[in-house]
Amino acid sequence: MTPSRHADTAPPSDPDDPAAPAGCAFGTRRRWLGGMAALALGSLGAGPRLALAATATATPAAARGERLVVVLLRGALDGLAAVPAVGDPAWSRLRPPSPEDERAGAPRPLDGLFALHPGLETLHGWYGEGRLLVVHAVASAHRERSHFDAQQLLESGGTRPFALSTGWLGRALAARDGRGLALGPALPLGLRGAPGASSWAPTRQAEADGDLLARVQRLYAGDGALADAFGRAADPRQRPMDEGPGAGGAGFVALAEQAGRFLAADDGSDVAWLDGSGWDTHTQQAGRLGRLLPTLDRGLGALRQALGPQWARTTVLVMTEFGRTAALNGSGGTDHGTGGVAFLAGGAVAGGRVLADWPGLAPAQLLDGRDLRPTQDLRALIRPVLQRQFGLGDARLAREVLPDAPPALQGLWHA
């Protein structure tokens, strides 16, 4: 791994909290631990670079008419399939091309080290425009590879699963009396805690009794396959995003387009949340991702088109709960892993780059000998997104929204 360079800095003053009280929503006040002022990293002699800083935005972007879209890919997207490290010497050994891969075509080049899955045509175009930023070898604080715990941790913004019962985006909205909208049948944990948050779906079906569902889940808890199948059937958010009304995953694409319409309205919500499921690719991954990734790509393209001129003032964050194993398993799939990938896109995003402290894919470089080693915390990406959208200072973010979060990534948007 390329060594990191760290510099200690004193905490900046917080315009929201000139004299922060000792008590807070998370218990005793946490001390500010000075952050990294800069982190410049290279990899394999190529150019991915990463910069960190603890910054605050004085004026909320929402007050300037800007919008935020969060897309959570439930099930764990394989970041090495979406953004393959084709320039890593160990890549070809870990991921020899399958017949499905060869039919899909060659990955779309980004730089000398990374490429995009061939199904991500729209995102590749955004990268060329400088409107897509790829953050690789990234993960939450979760290391146990449990979907439910990892999703809870990612949505709540905590450091331990179920330590927090509301979401980081919900708490940020509550801090600014903002409005958020979930496109789907239920309000996700990520938006809970905001009085101004609601959900929207084109149709609503009668929901089964929650106590009955909990009992059936306990009944199947000892059988992983049955428990997983029941969970997907019982919770619409867990169904694959390429299922829906019409062919080709029109469910997700239609919801993304509708989100764009809502956000484009002058009196619409400032924030939208979209779920996309089906990314738990233990078997036949190449074929499944050959459907899912183009669906994601079309959905994001529909979102941009529906936003119209508002795209210039929109930030889109795409994330997943963890990555997958570096090597394929015997069923042509990948198992639960650790390090993965996230995307930041939008009209003001300073994209056309891959941010990565690349750890390498050689056997000795893998986490536990099996996973892409994470070198960056997802909260370092979430933090500047919240700072930009809501104008929250460091102390208030640490106290109310993202407790114990690492310093924010810097330079993600054009001035």
Is the confidence at residue 101, as pLDDT, over 50? yes
Whether 97 shows a pLDDT value over 80: the answer reads yes
pLDDT bracket for residue 48 (50, 70, 90)? very low
Please name each of the domains of the chain with its CATH number.
24-409 (3.40.720)
Structure confidence at residue 57 (pLDDT) = 42
pLDDT digits (tens, 9 = 90+) for 155-173: 999 989 999 999 999 999 9
Banded model confidence at residue 23, pLDDT cuts 50, 70, 90: very low
The tens digit of pLDDT for each residue in 281-338 reads 999 999 999 999 999 999 999 999 999 999 999 999 999 999 999 999 999 999 999 9
Rounded Cα distance, 265 and 179, in Å: 13
pLDDT computed for residue 353 by the predictor: 97
